[in-house]
Chains A and B, each alone.
Chain A
């Protein structure tokens, strides 16, 4: 039983890490209807910039602020030079342009910071929580608990931002209906800029957490692959959906790997998540919390 609980907790904590990446997708999709394929590349860019600045001798908090500034610049530049010229173009065009943005950001990051993997130490030791081992023989990573706490705080901050602030309400209005929002004077382009900057901030948090966990390297771009089934399950437009989707996918893939994997020779967790997401898609195409689209015909 202890082993089952350990696997379940491990899965849930991993799921929070996936949700952290998924959140960046949700923010942009919610406000602009763009599926931002470049979110993984943003995570890599943020983490590499942060570590690169730390290596130049910048203090931790100053490096955070400087990286955040860089992410805001990237976000605003993306809105101004990539998305704005494509306003009113089909969804697939906007999706394709984010694929191009992915390659650009990956190349830019390696050009500026080099291709060498780096360590990122944020002062939280990645070892099992001792009292859980001693009392229950359950191994849970102290770092994963910390990362999950940071993610939960981030989710709460974003929830307050969306629900209680003027900009947040404007963001929701844009998300509901672009044209209606514009008709009452909400500046669409400014809102998009803010959303891309917010997604950059989320990418920075995700980059620091994933980078401290596995090192800062190109593979951070692959974290986006972990977020996709989470998005399908939770819905592309919902922050609670991203969190719940992350938890469900994390738990299912770990339990499946441990209990079902050996029957298939192991290594099933990457595709099991997609199978679960696809099955869910058949029953509820808009995801757990996604909005049901009804088109007038």
Chain B
């Protein structure tokens, strides 16, 4: 019953930290700024578990990336910004230098933005962080890949409009954005407002103060507004509390649409039967019957090398999201090796090239045993998002069921908004825009 991993992981970390070099020759080092204890431990253990499982899978199945084994070390951040920076500083030069870093925290991401530029370490933020960092001309070392918050907000409006029978039916509808009162929760408001002007729906944003474990007044306001849909942009305990309070105030869960950080088993199980019918966005699919998950079980778990202590979580939303983190890391290194030498250890700068030239099309995803697992992705120097596609899933009381195809956001409108914001940032910071036409 004792969760020994909680004790063993930091101990291993200490032992490894004491040794001079973590990664031996021909090992590509990946620092992991993980969190397995504290308030967000369930999220951290799921995602980092999936991330490590995929890297183990590549090492065990293929002997690494073209023979270069992946090596990693975890450093416990407890989702704390200062600890995240400390972990980054401790690990960035280990094993010949970090290939890339995935902080898995918007706060730590913001704290590292200036540092990764100096250290030349690409920072990948899948489904979090600042959206305008998708402009690679201004943020050359930051990669909010696959889908940003703005693309997600756009897809949510499109999803709702489709449910209602088209854009024209949105006129006069009421939409409430129930958000975590932080930069994260406020991030998509501009997109919802832009669409409110375009489609003619009434938009109200209601803030929930951290941590969000008491929301009766917010839901009383919602009951008074009588919205057609409520967007739930929550985090941690705020999510099950919102679902339960929706039930308490008689709001149908089918009309409650969550962000992907409100769309894991950890968000719905604590709310029990109240979660049935609740829908969320997602940028990858989940389930332990997926071919890639099955293969990881066969190659990694069958040999007792799996990272998840509770094997029933293998294939869960957070675990599969962790696998996506692994795919991005491995494929960026592989792409970099195509240019800079197969079988060689890549520097952060070379991996950045790999990221900017990554093209995970349907064929490549199929080759990775991951067809349909995540959206196709094509990166570039200017576009650090690469996809923008979003799916929707509904909790049926036992598991998540995918209920939509990949929804494409209005890329033109979003790109204009991104460039407006990023160029403003560049002006404030005195950043000269990269000329992507000169990048090879």
Contact = CB atoms under 8 A, between A and B. Distances in A.
Given A257-B218, A258-B220, A112 B3 contact: yes
A117 B237 CA distance: 9
27 contacts: A3-B220, A10-B217, A110-B6, A111-B3, A111-B6, A114-B309, A115-B6, A115-B36, A115-B37, A117-B42, A117-B237, A118-B269, A119-B271, A126-B274, A133-B250, A139-B250, A141-B216, A144-B216, A214-B237, A214-B271, A215-B237, A217-B270, A222-B237, A266-B207, A267-B181, A268-B209, A270-B210
A14 interface: yes
Given A111-B3, A215-B237, 9 more contacts: A3-B224, A10-B217, A11-B216, A115-B3, A115-B41, A215-B241, A257-B217, A266-B205, A267-B181
Nearest to A256: B217
A217 B209 contact: no
Interface string A100-140: 00000011001111111111010000111000010000010
Interface in B235-263: 236-237, 240-241, 244, 247-250
B189 to A, nearest CB: 11
Contacts of B42: 115-117, 217
Q: Report, nearest first, the 7 A-B pairs whose CB atoms are least far apart.
A: A215-B270, A267-B207, A219-B237, A115-B41, A267-B181, A266-B207, A257-B217
User: Chain A interface residue count: which class?
Assistant: 35 or more
A7 interface: yes
A269 interface: yes
A7 B205 CA distance: 19
Contact of A214 (B1, B241, B269, B309): B241
Interface in B1-35: 1-3, 6-7
Given A3-B220, A118-B270, A119-B272, A111 B241 contact: no
A215 B42 CA distance: 13
Nearest to A216: B270
Interface in B284-303: none
Contacts of B266: 116-117
Contacts of B207: 261, 265-267
A237 interface: no
Contacts, number: 147
Contacts of B3: 110-115
A126 B248 contact: yes
A117 B220 contact: no
A46 B433 CA distance: 55
Interface in B70-107: none
B214 interface: yes
A254 interface: yes
A114 B313 CA distance: 13
A141 B272 contact: no
A127 B248 contact: yes
A1 B210 CA distance: 29
A226 B214 contact: yes
Interface in A248-285: 253-254, 257-258, 261, 265-271
Contact of A110 (B1, B41, B223, B250): B41
Interface residues of B, number: 48
Given A127-B247, A217-B42, A222-B237, A116 B272 contact: no
Interface string A11-45: 10110010000000000000000000000000000
B348 to A, nearest CB: 31
Contacts of B205: 266
Nearest to B209: A270
A10 B38 contact: no
Nearest to B186: A265
Contacts of A213: 241, 244
A7 B215 CA distance: 12
A50 interface: no
B2 A222 contact: no
Given A3-B220, A111-B3, A222-B213, A117 B45 contact: no
A196 interface: no
A254 B309 CA distance: 42
Interface in B192-249: 205-211, 213-214, 216-218, 220-221, 223-224, 236-237, 240-241, 244, 247-249
Contacts of A141: 216, 248-249
A13 B214 CA distance: 11
Contact of B217 (A11, A107, A215): A11
A236 interface: no
A52 B2 CA distance: 12
A143 interface: yes
A218 interface: yes
Contacts of A221: 39
B250 A126 contact: no
A267 B208 contact: yes
Contact of B213 (A121, A143, A214): A214
B48 to A, nearest CB: 12
Contacts of B271: 119, 214-215
B310 interface: yes
Contacts of A133: 250
A10 B220 CA distance: 9
Contacts of B218: 257, 266
Contacts of A268: 209
A65 to B, nearest CB: 19
A113 to B, nearest CB: 8
Given A118-B269, A126-B248, A127-B248, A219 B217 contact: no
